[in-house]
Structure 1
Amino acid sequence: MAAVGSRGTVTEAQGFNPDKDTEALRNAMKGAGTDEAAIISILPHRTIAQRQQIVEAYKRAVGKNLSDDLISELTGNFEKVVIGLLMTAPVYDAYELRNAIKGAGTDEACLIEILASRSNAEIKALSAAYSKEYERNLEDDVCGDTSGMFKRVLVSLLTAGRDESNTVDEALAKQDAKEIYEAGEARWGTDEVKFLTVLCVRNRSHLLKVFEEYKRISGRDIEDSIKREMSGCLEETFLAIVRCIKSKPAFFAERLYKSMKGLGTTDSILIRVMVSRAEVDMQDIKAEFLKMYGKTLHSFIKGDTSGDYRKILLVLCGGEK
């Protein structure tokens, strides 16, 4: 069930009947070909909790996993988004992180996006899901695939130890801002550990005050200093943390925009953000997208995707509402 006061686009379907949905999904996969329209009419219109009931009802009625049957019937991006919808939020995060780590190369952007944007509770839940699903330790896998200060920042985020109170210590905020300034702009070289200690540990309200103080001291926005002082994955991680502290919806709006602008579409990012945020804050992301880029998210998706894949993303986007 979506949280009370949720700003998501996917809400509980009224008159929900998991057995009826199961029957419709079975019929959609019977015989030659697949009725994608039937799948679109059901899965993206149900909440995560309702989809879990469908998964259980399907296994009870058919004796098979719904995801296995859908994988055998579907292909490409449509398959990816549908399978993502069948997972709980922690399992989906764990699945995306596992895909980012396994095999040749690492999708650092995926690691950064997920770990910089999730709450303590969400990080604990996705770590537990990772252990259960893959019988592996997420921290060990992250450490095995990353190095240096980038690794240390990700490990810090994985401890899920951020202060989540709203307490602002004015004196400490001034001290934090001064120490970050002295660790970066005010010296030759950069003491990245000081950035880590402040950005990965302090609460949001306190950090907003730190950013304000930092600008007063240095004359620069903290993001500008990070860009001047760092590079590569470390720069991207600290920027993601700062942007999520300032506004998670704006952070995700930028992720969506960059996934669709220019030549081609980075479908993996587009799918991950649409699936993971549809029930959380998609309304706010849409509002930020319009404010930041002067166009609706709906129009971008419509212009950059096609076919059944586009149809399911537009449902998650909440249409033109």
Structure 2
Amino acid sequence: MERSEVSELKMAMVSEFLGQLTLSYGTEVEPIFPTVVAYRDFDPISDAARLDAAMRTKGVDEQSIIDILTRRSYEQRREIAFEYERLAKKDLQTALKGALSGSLEALMLGLMKSPAQYDALELKAAMKGLGTDEETLIEIVCSRNNRELVDIQKVYRDLFKKDLEKDVAGDTSGDFANLLLALVQTKRDEPSNVVDYEKIDNDAKSLYDAGVNRKGTDVAVWISILTQRSVAHLQRVFERYKSYSPYDLKESIRKEVKGDLEKSFLTLVECLENKQTYFADRLNEAMKGKSAKDKVVTRILVSRCQVDLMKIRREFKKRHGRSLYRAISVRTVPAEKHHNNNTLINPHL
């Protein structure tokens, strides 16, 4: 087989993996939030044996690896890993590293992590060495809820023997650092059945007075309100804000602050308004043009496939006029391969 043909085949397999994460499997009713669910007829011993055979095959049977690992929940993959180690006398992740390479290796290893483990590793990588990947920090910290952030911090401490808060403080500065640290401290109010209209009005006016209604911006007020109030409360605040300001809150942010702080505030507000819409738009942006960001696409799909990818998928189609499955397939696979890989494009999604 020519090198170009091998490369195209690899691209097709990676595309198929990403596409499979946007589908749901099994005979159960389609879930409301996740797209990867527990497999009903689960047999970890059989799956472990199939994986072992796939990695022993000359050239590696990558399709079998994809089929198994993308159709099992994280808990089931842990059971498979346990049985694999008993069978093959070596760690499954180590075996996957040896058998796979490039994007497919990164994808499979990511899927072997829990959402909290995956996020912790991504955050550590974003702060490793010289320079900081602010985009990744913003995406993860500004989009996770209190429970998710608590889990991430625990895993981060277990993995790296360091506090996430200290690492974020060491790698960022100024108001940008203050915003991220306020989120990491997880002081956001829990949802309440009581609607406090006076507090909603006060918060809306405070946001206006701290920004558009004065010279300079009192960023501390914005940080306090946006990181401590419940999501439902803030959604009402955003609506009330329009009665004070000639601009909505996102327009106000663009006028008042710049750089990483602007990106952080915008991401936070977008996630508070509709987290799935934020991820749908981020995926669409990441797949545009020649500068497509495969790492961003992979991170969102892997980290959200057991959380809310079903809703993200629906938002993507509503906002961008095509299925996420199709968008990934068209972007990552050469056009001449489409007819030979019918599983990459599902017109019903």
Task: Give TM-score, length-normalised by structure 1.
Answer: 0.93
Q: CA deviation at 1:31?
A: 4.6
Given candidates 53, 61, 86, the residue that maps to 1:35 is: 61
Q: CA deviation at 1:252?
A: 0.5
Q: CA deviation at 1:315?
A: 8.8
Given candidates 93, 97, 104, the residue that maps to 2:123 is: 97
After superposition, where does 1:262-277 map in structure 2 within 5 Å? 262-277=289-304
- Kindly indicate whether the alpha-carbon contact (under 8 Å) linking 1:44 and 1:315 is maintained by their aligned counterparts in 2: no
Unaligned runs of 5+ in 1: none
Match of 1:12 in 2: 38
Q: Distance in 1 between matches of 2:346 and 2:125?
A: 28
Per the alignment, do residues 221 and 47 of structure 1 end up closer, same or farther by CA in structure 2, a change over 3 Å counting? Answer: same
**1:143 pairs with 2:169:** yes
SS of the equivalent of 2:78 reads helix
Match of 2:257 in 1: 230
Given candidates 114, 124, 135, the residue that maps to 2:150 is: 124
SS of the equivalent of 1:247 reads helix
1:180-202 Cα offsets, whole Å, 9 max, x none, are: 11111011111111110110000
Match of 1:280 in 2: 307
Q: Distance in 2 between matches of 1:7 and 1:198?
A: 28
How many residue pairs match? The answer is 315
Given candidates 177, 180, 187, the residue that maps to 2:204 is: 177
- Kindly indicate whether the alpha-carbon contact (under 8 Å) linking 2:326 and 2:344 is maintained by their aligned counterparts in 1: no
SS of the equivalent of 1:217 reads coil
Query: 1:149 corresponds to which letter in structure 2?
Result: D
Q: CA deviation at 1:320?
A: 4.8
Query: 2:105 corresponds to which letter in structure 1?
Result: E
SS of the equivalent of 1:216 reads coil
Match of 2:186 in 1: 160
Query: 1:185 corresponds to which letter in structure 2?
Result: V
**1:82 pairs with 2:108:** yes
Given candidates 301, 309, 316, the residue that maps to 1:289 is: 316
1:9-60 Cα offsets, whole Å, 9 max, x none, are: 1121121011111111111111532111111110011111111111111122
Q: Distance in 1 between matches of 2:229 and 2:279?
A: 22
Q: CA deviation at 1:62?
A: 2.2
Q: Distance in 2 between matches of 1:96 and 1:24?
A: 30
Query: 1:152 corresponds to which letter in structure 2?
Result: N
Per the alignment, do residues 29 and 55 of structure 1 end up closer, same or farther by CA in structure 2, a change over 3 Å counting? Answer: same
Match of 2:82 in 1: 56
Q: CA deviation at 1:128?
A: 0.7
Match of 2:19 in 1: none
Q: CA deviation at 1:236?
A: 0.9
- Kindly indicate whether the alpha-carbon contact (under 8 Å) linking 1:8 and 1:277 is maintained by their aligned counterparts in 2: yes
SS of the equivalent of 1:95 reads helix
Task: Give TM-score, length-normalised by structure 2.
Answer: 0.86
Q: Distance in 2 between matches of 1:161 and 1:317?
A: 43
Per the alignment, do residues 93 and 183 of structure 1 end up closer, same or farther by CA in structure 2, a change over 3 Å counting? Answer: same
- Kindly indicate whether the alpha-carbon contact (under 8 Å) linking 2:54 and 2:61 is maintained by their aligned counterparts in 1: yes
Match of 1:259 in 2: 286
Aligned identity (percent) is 39
Query: 1:295 corresponds to which letter in structure 2?
Result: R
Given candidates 255, 260, 270, the residue that maps to 1:243 is: 270
Q: Distance in 1 between matches of 2:298 and 2:95?
A: 21
* Max Rg structure: 2
Query: 2:254 corresponds to which letter in structure 1?
Result: K
Given candidates 159, 162, 172, the residue that maps to 1:133 is: 159
- Kindly indicate whether the alpha-carbon contact (under 8 Å) linking 2:32 and 2:310 is maintained by their aligned counterparts in 1: no
Per the alignment, do residues 298 and 320 of structure 1 end up closer, same or farther by CA in structure 2, a change over 3 Å counting? Answer: farther
Q: Distance in 2 between matches of 1:229 and 1:163?
A: 26
Q: CA deviation at 1:95?
A: 0.8
SS of the equivalent of 1:218 reads coil
- Kindly indicate whether the alpha-carbon contact (under 8 Å) linking 1:208 and 1:245 is maintained by their aligned counterparts in 2: yes
